[in-house]
Structure 1
Amino acid sequence: MQFTNFDAAAFLRDYWQKRPLLIRNPWQSWRNPLSPDELAGLACEDHVESRLITQSSDDWNAEHGPLPETRFGELDKCPWTLLVQAVDQHVADVAALIEPFRFIPNWRIDDVMVSYASDGGGVGPHFDHYDVFLVQGLGQRRWQIGGMCNDQTPLRSHEDLLLLAEFEALDEWILNPGDMLYIPPGVAHNGVAVGPDCMTYSIGFRSPSRKELIGSWCDDLLPQMTDDDRYCDPDLVTQANPGEIPANAIDRLHAMITEKLTDRKEFAKWFGEYSSTPRYPETDWRPEEPIEADHLRELLTADHPLIRNPASRFSFVREEQGKLMLFVDGECFPCAGKTAELAEMVCAQDAFVIDPEWRRSDEVVALIAELYNRGSLSFDWG
C-alpha cells in the first residue's frame, strides 16, 4: 500500500512530535489487510502476544493470551477489545502497512498492533511514550484527543492498564476505513468503537528514554571491565584537611567513568546492536536446512529475489572510507566495498534481486548466507 496524497516533509516539519493530525484516507486504494477471524486466530497462538480487554460500567479488565478459541463465544454484550501485538511479523499484508512510513528511520519502527472492538469497546483514556499512527481498518472509531501528559499525570489504580484518572477531550473525530490519526508522545487520547466490527492498526515508533539508554549501555559496559582498573594517585601530597575530597581526585574519578561512557564509536556499535534486537528474540526464524555458498550462488544467478523477514530489524551506521556497520537482529556485521553497498540496499528495500556483479563476490555471498541461515533473509518463491 502507498499514500497518494501525503507530504512527508511537511508532516515532519509541522506535526511530528509536535501536535496530532487527522488524515482522511491518504491511501491509493484502501483494503483492510486482515479479517477479524484471522486476528482472533492469532490471539490463540502461544507465540503471539495478545490481550482481551472487557468493560463493565466504568472499569476495564485485561486478560492475557494465548486465548482459548471458546473465549470469544463466551463474551456477553458488554463492550470488549482484542489487542494483538506485532501482527506485521506474522501477516505479510499487515507488514506492508509499514512501507509508506519509511520516511521515518528503520530503527524507530516498533511494530503494528491490531485491535478489534465490539460496539463501545476501547482500552480507556491513556497516553503513550511513543509516536503512533492509528489507521482505521474496518468500521468506525471515535477518537478523542486530550492534553499533554507525563510521568506525574495521575493514573487510575489498575494492575494491567495505564488509564488516566481524569480525561478532558479537546478534539474529537470519527474515523472511517482508511482514515488515519497521528498522535505524538504524551498526548492523551481515547478511542471508542462506533458500531460492530471495528478494526484499528496502530503503527508504533520506539523512543528510548535517557534512563533506558544509560542503564542498558552501562549494563553492556560492566562485563568488559576488570577489578584491576582502579583509581590511583601516585602523586598524592598532604592536604590541610583530611576530610576534603579535593578537586583533582574528583576529576580523576569522574574521568574514570566518562572516558568509557563517551566512547562514541563503541556507543554506536552498542546502540546498533541494542536497537536492532528483535522484539521477541526467543522466536527461532532459522531455516530447517542451512544454505551453502555454492547453492546460494546458483539461486542468486537465477535471479530469485530475496526478502527481509518482517520480524527482523535492519539498520546501519556509516563509518569512514566507505565502511559501515550493518546491524541485523542484535548482531553487528562490519562491511566495506560491495558488502557495504549490499548492506545499504538491504536496509532500504524489503525485497530485491542481487546485482550480477555482487554475485561474484565471496564476501557478498558469505554475508547473504549468514543472514539467510539466521532467518533474517529468505527467498521469495511467490
Structure 2
Amino acid sequence: MPKSLLGNLTAEQFLSDYWQKKPLLIRQAVTQFDWQPQLADLFALASEEDVESRLIEFKQGKWSCESGPFRLSRFKRLAAGDWTVLVQNVNHHNAFAAELLHRFDFIPHVRLDDLMISHAPAGGGVGPHFDSYDVFLLQVGGKKRWRISSQTDLSLVDDAPLKILQHFEPEQEWVLEHGDMLYLPPKYAHEGVALEPGQTWSVGFRAPSAQEIGGAFLDFLRDRIALDGLYADPDLQLPQDPARLPDDFVARIATMLNGIRWTEDDVRSFVGHYFSEPKAHVFYDGPEDELSERSFASKLTKQGVRLDLKTVLLFDDSQFYINGEALAVPADARPALQQLANRRQLPAQAYPAAVSAVLYTCYQYGYLHLG
C-alpha cells in the first residue's frame, strides 16, 4: 500500500482510530493517475449494456434519477449545471481503476465492493445524504466542497427518487482538490457540491443487511439440505371444525422443520459462495482461440497470469471460491492460488503441474488471462 494513501497513518492506525469511528481527510492521498477519464469516456461507459449507471438532475427544486444504459444523445440535452452522472464498477472496465481499488486491501477483499466515478459540472451534486457503508471519496480533477455531519436525524425527503436528508446540519467543511480523499464511516451525513467541473472516485464497501444475508443463506440451504420422510398422521381424529388449523398438525410440521440444521462450516461455505458471486449484469468470456492445456502451461512460465478485472477469488483454510463457485485446489497448489487471490496476479515462472491445471480451468472460463 503506498504510504500516501492514508497520509502519515499506518493501516493499523487507521483501522484502530478511524475505521467505522470518525471521518478522516487525507490531502494528496493519490498523486499519480495512470488513467483519468474524460467526460466523454464516462458517457460512453454509461451507454454500455453491462455497465450500471445513473443520471441525477435537480430541476425546479425537484430531484430526478434515471438509470442507464443511456443513448449518447441523452447527454446532449443536459443543462449547464445541476446534474451528475455516476458510473458503477469502473474497476470492471479499466485496469488502473481496478488496481486503485485493490490498494485498499488493508480491508479484506470480501468487504470491497466497487469503485464508482461520478462527474458533475460546477454547482452539481446529489444532495445531502448518507451511505449505509464506509466510503472513501477521492477528488479527481476540479474542486468540490464537502460538508459533513454526525447528526442522528436521518429522516428523508418524502417522495424523492433519492435518499435526500430532510434536515441537514453540517458540522465540518472542506474543499477537496485533485488527489485529496475523504473517508466517512457508515451513516455519516454528507453533501458534496462541485466548485469546478470534476470527478469523485468513490470506493465503497459491502455492508449487507441482516435481512439480506438471512434470505440469501436460506436460499443457499434450500439447495443443500435433504430432509427425510413424508407427512403422516395415522392417528387422525374427526375434526369438529374442518377449517381450523389442528394443533397436532402444526406440531408435526414443526418437528419436520426441526430437521433443518447448519454448522459453522455451512456458514463459511455460504460466505465464500455469496461474497464472491458476481452481480447480475456481470458475465465472463472464455478465450476466443483457446489454447491447449500444454500450450497454456508453456505460456504461463513466460507470461504469468492475472485475474480478470471482474473476478473475485477468496479462500479460507480448506477451500477456494471464485465468482460464486467452489474451486477445487490440490494441497500443493494452494500457496500459488493464495498468492493469486491476494495479489490478483502471478509472475512468469515455472509452476507445478497441479497449479497449471487449476489455472487452466479458470482460463477456460475467462476468470483469468495470460500476461
TM-score grouping bracket, smaller chain normalisation: 0.7 to 0.9
Judged with a 3 Å threshold, the aligned counterparts in structure 2 of structure 1 residues 37 and 165 are, in CA distance, closer, same or farther, namely same
CA displacement, residues 154-181 of structure 1 (integer Å, 9 cap, x when unaligned): 2123463111222111111110000000
Map of 2:214 onto structure 1: 214
Whole-angstrom CA distance in 1 between matches of 2:15 and 2:27: 17
The number of residue pairs the alignment matches comes to 355
Query: TM-score with structure 2 length normalisation?
Result: 0.87
Map of 2:368 onto structure 1: 377
Equivalence map 1:114-193=2 (5 Å):
114-148=117-151, 153-158=154-159, 160-193=161-194
Instruction: For 2:311, give the aligned amino acid.
Output: S
CA displacement, residues 131-163 of structure 1 (integer Å, 9 cap, x when unaligned): 11000011011111122558xx32123463111
Match of 2:11 among 5, 8, 11: 8
Residue 113 of structure 1: SS of its match in structure 2? strand
Whole-angstrom CA distance in 2 between matches of 1:96 and 1:26: 15
Map of 2:337 onto structure 1: 343
Q: Is the 8 A contact 1:126 1:188 kept in 2?
A: yes
Judged with a 3 Å threshold, the aligned counterparts in structure 2 of structure 1 residues 228 and 8 are, in CA distance, closer, same or farther, namely same
Whole-angstrom CA distance in 1 between matches of 2:151 and 2:256: 40
CA displacement, residues 274-327 of structure 1 (integer Å, 9 cap, x when unaligned): 1001124542332223332111111023x2021111111111011xxxxx3111
Q: Is the 8 A contact 1:291 1:369 kept in 2?
A: no
Whole-angstrom CA distance in 1 between matches of 2:152 and 2:272: 30
Shift of 1:224: 3.1
Map of 1:270 onto structure 2: 270
CA displacement, residues 232-264 of structure 1 (integer Å, 9 cap, x when unaligned): 99xxxxxxxxx999xx9999678534x32xx11
Residue 256 of structure 1: SS of its match in structure 2? coil
Gap regions ≥5 residues in structure 1: 234-242, 319-323
Whole-angstrom CA distance in 2 between matches of 1:37 and 1:244: 67
Query: TM-score with structure 1 length normalisation?
Result: 0.85
Q: Is the 8 A contact 1:129 1:186 kept in 2?
A: yes
Shift of 1:104: 0.8
Whole-angstrom CA distance in 1 between matches of 2:188 and 2:208: 17
Q: Is the 8 A contact 2:31 2:179 kept in 1?
A: no
Higher strand share: 1
Residue 25 of structure 1: SS of its match in structure 2? coil
Identity %: 34
Gap regions ≥5 residues in structure 2: 234-245
Whole-angstrom CA distance in 2 between matches of 1:294 and 1:59: 61
Q: Is the 8 A contact 2:50 2:281 kept in 1?
A: no
Q: Is the 8 A contact 2:337 2:355 kept in 1?
A: no
Whole-angstrom CA distance in 2 between matches of 1:344 and 1:185: 30
Map of 1:91 onto structure 2: 94
CA displacement, residues 19-60 of structure 1 (integer Å, 9 cap, x when unaligned): 111111123545663222211211121221111111124321
Equivalence map 1:254-269=2 (5 Å):
256-257=259-260, 259-260=261-262, 263-269=263-269
